[in-house]
Amino acid sequence: MPTFTALTTLVGKDAADRLGEAMENLYPEPTGVGVFEIEDGSGLWEVGAYFTEAPDETELALLQVAFGAKPFAVSELPEVDWVSKVKRELSPVQAGRFFVYGSHDADQVPADAEPLLIEAAMAFGTGHHGTTLGCLKALDRLANEGFVGANVADVGCGTAVLGMAAARIWANPVMASDIDQVAVDVAEANVKANDLVDRVLCVEAAGFDHPDLIAKAPFDLVFANILKAPLIMLAPDMGNYIAAAGHAILSGILNEQADEVVAAYQAAGFDVHTREEIGEWTTLTLTRG
């Protein structure tokens, strides 16, 4: 089935939201409409829609004029089997003792590695992204230093690859949480695929806002591979829910954002243990004083 896109930009959130609402009433009907801020300081917003039939370009032109938008760019996307494409392009990743792979590469798992199976259809969080790779390497480094995580949480867990990695090397159950129930469902599927159902417990929560997480605190290690803004917002809670001498492994931080995150965590009582850049991303390992 063909897929068509229609994209435009305009100034201002209100106008963009109203244009997005108007596009939902087009014929043929779009299968989805998105409104996104372009985060370059320009004040521009992108509005786009997907269609299974070519959209009516006259209707799009009328919307463009009515909302003061740029002319729509209409494209037909090539039909791609994305899962097959990911299988071809995502090779296994080694991060210290950890080996992240898809089932199509099961025959490549080294005998001495800690295996982490993430299927191609759940590609983000496989270890190919610099943030996930950095967190796995930071975990491996802590373990090599003799640290043993007795009480671990993976906040904003996504695929739960980090929580599963901790559960592979330490005996105690790990808490994994995400604000998005879809992500929690993905995490639970991955946990099952890795035979870690009794070792990684998944819950839907924003930050530490769940009774099971609160009951388990204080933690001696918390992963948070999210983004700069929520990491900074979490800093006071990290100070409250991580035990003295415990660690936080943080990523989702662009290199130029790292100092700002460090400052927020220093204010919450943390010191920098290690700091590593992989490509454009920084991973921080912090220790609570």
CA angle 129, 131, 135 (to 5 degrees): 120
The per-residue pLDDT for 32 is 87
| Collapsed DSSP state (helix, strand, coil) of residue 90 | coil
CA distance 3 to 190: 30
Across 92-106, 133-147, 180-194, least confident range: 92-106
The per-residue pLDDT for 120 is 52
Span 231-282, pLDDT tens digits: 999 999 999 999 999 999 999 898 999 999 999 999 999 999 999 998 888 9
**128-to-120, 131, 135 alpha-carbon distances in Å:** 12, 8, 12
Share above pLDDT 70 across residues of the chain, in percent, rounded to a whole number:
90
* pLDDT band for position 108 (cuts 50, 70, 90): confident
Over residues 132-146, the mean pLDDT reads 95
Mean pLDDT over the full length of the chain:
89
DSSP letter at 122?
Answer: G
The per-residue pLDDT for 262 is 98
Over residues 134-141, the mean pLDDT reads 96
Buried b (16+ CB within 10 A) or exposed e, 11-26: eeeeebebbbebbeeb
| Collapsed DSSP state (helix, strand, coil) of residue 263 | helix
Domain architecture of the chain: domains with CATH: 3-77 (3.30.70.260), 129-288 (3.40.50.150)
The per-residue pLDDT for 87 is 52
Q: How many CA atoms lie within 13 A of 187 on its CB side?
A: 28
Over residues 188-217, the mean pLDDT reads 94
CA distance 176 to 189: 13
CA distance 53 to 261: 46
Over residues 198-227, the mean pLDDT reads 94
Q: Counting beta carbons within 10 angstroms of the beta carbon of residue 205, is it exposed (0 to 12), middle (13 to 18) or buried (19 or more)? A: buried
For the beta carbon of residue 215, count every other beta carbon within 10 angstroms.
8
The per-residue pLDDT for 132 is 87
Helix ranges restricted to H, the chain: 13-23, 57-67, 82-89, 130-144, 161-169, 181-193, 211-216, 228-241, 258-267
For the beta carbon of residue 256, count every other beta carbon within 10 angstroms.
10
* pLDDT band for position 182 (cuts 50, 70, 90): confident
Of 189, 197, 188, 237, the C-alpha closest to 217 is: 237
pLDDT of 86 above 50: no
Q: What are residue 221's DSSP bridge partners?
A: 152, 247
The per-residue pLDDT for 39 is 65
* pLDDT band for position 89 (cuts 50, 70, 90): very low
Q: Phi, psi at residue 39, to the nearest 5°?
A: -85, 60
Contact by Cβ (8 Å): 95, 133: yes
Which amino acid, one-letter code, is at 119?
A: E
The per-residue pLDDT for 124 is 46
CA distance 274 to 212: 30
Share above pLDDT 90 across residues of the chain, in percent, rounded to a whole number:
66
Of residues 38 and 272, more confidence is placed in 272
Of 122, 82, 87, 123, the C-alpha closest to 105 is: 87
